[in-house]
């Protein structure tokens, strides 16, 4: 996705979801998938399905076997409600907010509004569209997509509970932060030599795989190159094209073995877009961060950098030479940033199992026992039922009716009192 595209988070989410629906629909139309699903002899014991593309849950209905959904993204409100996890939009914000700490009243209202608009747009527009696609592919009798998705046995969530504010969640939601992490491998020889011979250390900058840094505003690119030229460090820069004005101390490549690279002791700071996987890799390597968020959950992640004091968050629209340079120098020179990220790593990794071991254990558990006993009472419960709106409206109605009755009674009593007083006054007057 271009970094110059709209920065409206709700629009970004809608774009991604509609694109995923289109891609899954095209997959179902492909010869290979049609051959797979029409093979009556093909069977499975379990399905693993990515949660975010909603139409992928069609496979669950076709094969009617236990399904474990996995999500490399944070919990959205609809997902939390589907599994019966807490969905309080202030205490446990969805990962598409620009900020959520120390909010003003107006910022709180803005976040609640964004949450509400996205939620209802998601359910009443995208759900309707996905149901149309599923019925077009498999006939009008195909059940509602939300109903199919709601039958998932487990949700594997690639996020640590500390990254999700210790959200209350049922046993059917399993945190597997860092499951993609592996034992470090040797770096390519040229990179190893480059890092080993960088006597002042190395800055590593990558804006991820879902954005094109070359499409950043030209002024932002010039700020980056000017600042790098002023610093005494070598720089490894992941870039998708030719970098105009590339300083001598900057080595540009289209790809780096990021996880292995971050483990080198000469890496001083990681300048990142703030993606979740990049964040986990930086924490595992104990490398402090300078963030330039661009898309979706990256503002959420970089807000957490600030919260745990493991990095500094910048904004491309307000970026200046001084801000960029000072942020890099501060994170490198202030040892508290590295100390804080090492402490956070210790907290996140102190687990009785690795993420992979936990995933294997729960998979075998579901294969052996099923998952009905793990299901939360609130799973798939409509928000109006979850918040007991019927009870709330009943109590409010009783209260209003009671006020009306009391008011009518008082009016009647006052009317009678006035009549009595008038009669007494008239009697006294004639007497």
pLDDT digit string, tens, across residues 373-410: 999 888 888 878 888 889 999 999 999 999 999 999 99
389, containing H or E segment: helix 389-430
What's the rounded mean pLDDT across residues 202-212?
A: 91
* pLDDT for residue 3 is more than 80: no
Rounded distance between C-alpha atoms, residue 243 and residue 241, angstroms:
6
Q: What is the pLDDT of residue 178?
A: 82
**137-151, 208-222, 414-428 — which is least confidently predicted?**
414-428
* pLDDT for residue 368 is more than 90: yes
pLDDT grade, residue 425 (50/70/90)?
Answer: confident
Q: Which stretches of 55-122 are DSSP H helices?
A: 58-63, 77-83, 105-121
* pLDDT for residue 303 is more than 90: yes
* Mean pLDDT, the chain, whole residue set: 89
Neighbours of 121 (CB within 10 A): 15
The domain defined by 189-349 carries CATH number 3.40.50.2000: yes
Q: What is the pLDDT of residue 408?
A: 92
Residue 108's Cβ-side half-sphere holds a number of Cα atoms within 13 Å equal to 9
Q: 282: closest CA among 253, 252, 327, 312?
A: 312
Cβ-based neighbours of 91, under 8 Å, separated by 6 or more = 165
pLDDT grade, residue 273 (50/70/90)?
Answer: very high
What are the pLDDT digits (tens) for 68-108? 999 887 788 888 888 988 888 888 887 777 778 888 888 88
Distances in Å between the Cα of 335 and the Cα atoms of 38, 287, 393 are 60, 11, 55
What contacts 24+ positions apart, CB below 8 Å, involve 351-357?
355/176, 355/177, 355/178, 355/179, 355/181, 356/176, 356/179
Decide if 157 contacts 84 (C-beta within 8 A): no
Neighbours of 118 (CB within 10 A): 21
What's the rounded mean pLDDT across residues 250-278?
A: 94
* pLDDT for residue 4 is more than 70: no
Q: What is the pLDDT of residue 73?
A: 78
What's the rounded mean pLDDT across residues 263-271?
A: 96
Q: What is the pLDDT of residue 282?
A: 96
Distances in Å between the Cα of 94 and the Cα atoms of 133, 141, 244 are 27, 33, 38
Under DSSP, is residue 60 helix (H, G, I), strand (E, B) or coil? helix
Rounded distance between C-alpha atoms, residue 114 and residue 104, angstroms:
15
Rounded distance between C-alpha atoms, residue 76 and residue 83, angstroms:
11
Decide if 321 contacts 226 (C-beta within 8 A): yes
* pLDDT for residue 6 is more than 50: no
pLDDT grade, residue 278 (50/70/90)?
Answer: very high
């Amino acid at each position: 996705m271009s970094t110059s595209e709209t920065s409206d988070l709700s629009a970004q989410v809608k774009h991604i979801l509609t694109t995923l629906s289109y891609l899954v629909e095209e997959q179902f139309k492909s010869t290979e998938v049609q051959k797979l699903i029409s093979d009556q002899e093909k069977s499975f014991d379990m399905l693993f399905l990515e949660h975010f593309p909603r139409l992928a849950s069609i496979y669950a209905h076709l094969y009617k076997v236990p399904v474990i959904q996995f999500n490399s993204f944070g919990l959205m409100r609809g997902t939390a409600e589907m599994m019966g996890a807490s969905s309080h939009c202030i205490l446990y914000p969805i990962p598409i907010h620009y900020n959520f700490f120390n909010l003003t009243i107006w910022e709180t209202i803005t976040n609640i509004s964004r949450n509400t608009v996205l939620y209802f747009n998601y359910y009443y527009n995208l759900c309707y569209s996905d149901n149309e696609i599923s019925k077009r592919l498999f006939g009008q009798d195909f059940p509602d997509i939300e109903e199919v998705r709601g039958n998932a046995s487990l949700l594997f969530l690639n996020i640590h509970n500390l990254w999700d504010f210790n959200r209350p969640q049922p046993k059917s939601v399993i945190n597997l932060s860092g499951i993609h992490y592996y034992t470090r491998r040797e770096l390519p020889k040229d990179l190893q030599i480059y890092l080993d011979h960088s006597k002042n250390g190395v800055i590593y900058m990558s804006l991820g795989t879902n954005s094109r840094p070359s499409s950043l505003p030209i002024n932002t690119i010039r700020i980056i190159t000017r600042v790098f030229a002023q610093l005494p460090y070598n720089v490894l820069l992941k870039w998708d094209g030719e970098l105009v004005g590339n300083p001598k101390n900057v080595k540009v490549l289209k790809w780096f073995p990021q996880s292995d690279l971050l483990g080198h002791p000469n890496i001083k700071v990681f300048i990142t877009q703030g993606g979740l996987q990049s964040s986990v890799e930086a924490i595992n390597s104990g490398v402090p961060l300078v963030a330039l968020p661009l898309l979706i959950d990256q503002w959420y992640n970089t807000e957490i950098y600030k919260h745990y004091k493991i990095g500094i968050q910048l904004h491309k629209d307000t970026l200046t030479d001084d801000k960029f340079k000072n942020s890099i120098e501060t994170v490198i020179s202030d040892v508290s940033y590295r100390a804080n990220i090492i402490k956070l790593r210790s907290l996140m990794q102190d687990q009785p199992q690795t993420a992979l071991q936990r995933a294997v254990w729960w998979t075998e558990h579901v294969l052996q026992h099923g998952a009905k006993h793990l299901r939360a009472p609130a799973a798939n419960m409509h928000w109006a039922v979850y918040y007991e709106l019927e009870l709330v409206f009943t109590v409010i109605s009783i209260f209003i009716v009671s006020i009306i009755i009391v008011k009518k009674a008082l009016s009647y009593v006052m009317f009678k009192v006035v009549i009595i007083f008038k009669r007494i006054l008239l009697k006294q007057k004639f007497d």
